[in-house]
Amino acid sequence: MKRKNPEQHITTAIHAPLLAAIRSLIPLSEAEEAIVCQLFKEKHYKKGSFFLAENEICRQAAFVISGFMRYYINDDGEEKTYSFAKPYNFACNYESFVPQKPSAQIIQALEDCVLLTISYDDLLLLYEQVRYGDRLGRLVIEQVFIQTLKDRNSFYTDSPESRYEKFVNEHKDLLQQISQYHIASFVGIKPQSLSRIRKRLAGN
């Protein structure tokens, strides 16, 4: 099938936050905005579904429009949540996406999500067709990869209380939306232990 001429592609409202995020990193001409809108496809994920399942190859990167997802690993049957992807953030497992190798990490929708996704092959097209596309890819990969490493390292080095305080500081907007089970998983403790930490902090 012949690819559409980007000049003929109409920029839709759903792409506006993505374009704003990209423009904060690189300049875009109108023609390049049209290319971005053509290559990033709208996809919907139901609550509980997987953007990336365990041992799958991560074949797409995403920009979250609405909803949120969690990153976690399966450690001998125990789920360990180490990060979240919120609206207007990029989401991807770049350790799998860049080399196109199976992923040990899992990315799951915690509520219904609307995403703008780009495949690995289309990202290579973006690098070719957008003037600073390769710079954009590098900056986004650095942002997501470095944050993911920080979150995973924190899981093994910070105390549960410190991790809970970090969650409250960085994800206050999610406090009422995420279950106690998933917050406890992020903190690295059982839900009943999380209740004790919350009571202790509330008493200070």
Q: Which CATH number is 6-155 given?
A: 2.60.120.10
**Do 68 and 86 touch, CB atoms closer than 8 A?**
yes
d(CA 51, CA 117): 10
Residue found by looking up tokens 């139901």 in the block:
46
pTM of the model: 0.86
Kindly report the CA angle at 162 between 161 and 165, in degrees rounded to 5? 90
Sequence spans of domains, the chain: 6-155, 158-204
pLDDT digits (tens), the chain, 204 positions: 444 444 444 557 999 999 999 999 999 999 999 999 999 999 999 999 999 999 999 999 999 999 999 999 988 888 888 889 999 999 999 889 989 999 999 999 999 999 999 999 999 999 999 999 999 988 888 887 787 778 777 877 888 888 888 888 888 888 888 888 989 988 888 888 888 888 887 776
